[in-house]
Structure 1
Amino acid sequence: MIVALIVICEVGFWVLLAGGLALRYWARMPRASVAVLLCEPLLEVLLFVVTAIDLKNGAEPDWKHGLAAVYIGYSIALGHYTIKWVDVRVAHRFAGGPAPATPKYGAARAVHEWKLAARWILAALIAMALLQGAVQYVGGGGEISSLRMWQQKMLWVIGINVVIAGTYTLFPKKAPAGERTGKRENFLTKL
């Protein structure tokens, strides 16, 4: 039941996102769009409540409960970012909005990667806290190895994101020679 609910919540996330953006850009109903997009956190609350009830009713904690905690962590830490990321691209593609402005080179790219890593780290920490809450709830008498396994996976998520952001800091990607020259010429011509 938990797996089906996780799938429903994930599909619901994307359906609400598509519906909210359709209301904003095609139907020109921005207030209705906001109302639809604000329904998305209700999916996480529903998943959290059902997971807690499942554990309360004596279900042995397993990978499904761990996956629910990870999904909730992702939704809290990265849900808003994901919505904004998709919104900018839909606005650009279908509503004449500005092109997405993700930095590609140098320190700006490193800062972008560290901000993204911070979001992933927050998602992992939220998931780990929820998992720890489930471990405490079950206590020493229950089977908690699957919950501990998910906590270890979240440590890997943190480590991988730190390594990725660190590589952009230690080995910044440089703009191709033509782009660097073009930018200097444009800057000089404006003087």
Structure 2
Amino acid sequence: MSVIAFLIIAAEVGFWVFIAAGLVTRYLLGKKRLGLLLLAMTPVLDLILLIATTYDILANDATATAAHGIAAIYLGVSLTFGKRMIRWADERFRYHIMKKGPRPVKRYGYDHARHELSGSLLHVLAWVLGGGYLFLLIRLAGNPEQTEVLLQILKVWTLVAAIDLALSLSYFIWPRKAKTDSAR
């Protein structure tokens, strides 16, 4: 396994460890500032991954691998969805662990469609950030053979983002319906 692949795994594990530690510290230990500090450490992991990936391609003249491309996707997704994922975990922690706070919302109809569209638009923003980073790496490396895999990953990610957007738009045509109780 490459160093970059290891760093991606470490960043993802670290992301959830910092979130869990932040929530436990915040709610179970009652130390809100320390909990907030732990939650705020998640972007530091992104920065470490960004520096390592850039250094590996540009300074080491490494031939880009799928791990380098996935690192860019991870960075884009983490930057755009990070706050939303922390909010999601916070809501569920308060409800399921602390037994406080409202039940997490199940969305239906146009509320669900709007929520899905907002997620798809965040995906497009993640694509702009991560794809922009991939494009920048490709341009700065200046060697198409060294960065061919990055271009391929960018093409696949473009297709995935377009499909995601199309699916979320379909919920406006065919809204999700609440399940009915058929036992009556």
TM-score (norm 2): 0.90
Q: Is 2:86 aligned against 1:83?
A: yes
Aligned-residue offset at 1:25: 1.4
Q: State the partner residue of 2:95.
A: 92
Unaligned runs of 5+ in 2: none
Output the amino acid matched with 1:100. P
Change in CA separation of 1:22 and 1:66 when aligned onto 2, cut-off 3 Å = same
What's the RMSD between the two structures over aligned residues? 1.5
Q: State the partner residue of 1:169.
A: 172
139-148 or 153-162, larger mean C-alpha shift: 139-148
Unaligned runs of 5+ in 1: 179-191
Q: Distance in 2 between matches of 1:129 and 1:121?
A: 12
Aligned residues: 177
Q: Distance in 2 between matches of 1:141 and 1:113?
A: 36
Map 1:108-187 to 2 at 5 A: 108-140=111-143, 142-175=145-178
Aligned-residue offset at 1:27: 0.6
Q: Give aligned-pair identity as a percent.
A: 31
Aligned-residue offset at 1:64: 1.6
Find the residue that maps to 2:146 and give its secondary structure. coil
Please say which structure displays the higher CA radius of gyration.
Answer: 1
Aligned-residue offset at 1:114: 0.5
TM-score (norm 1): 0.87
Change in CA separation of 1:99 and 1:137 when aligned onto 2, cut-off 3 Å = same
Q: Is 2:81 aligned against 1:65?
A: no
Change in CA separation of 1:131 and 1:141 when aligned onto 2, cut-off 3 Å = closer
Change in CA separation of 1:148 and 1:88 when aligned onto 2, cut-off 3 Å = same
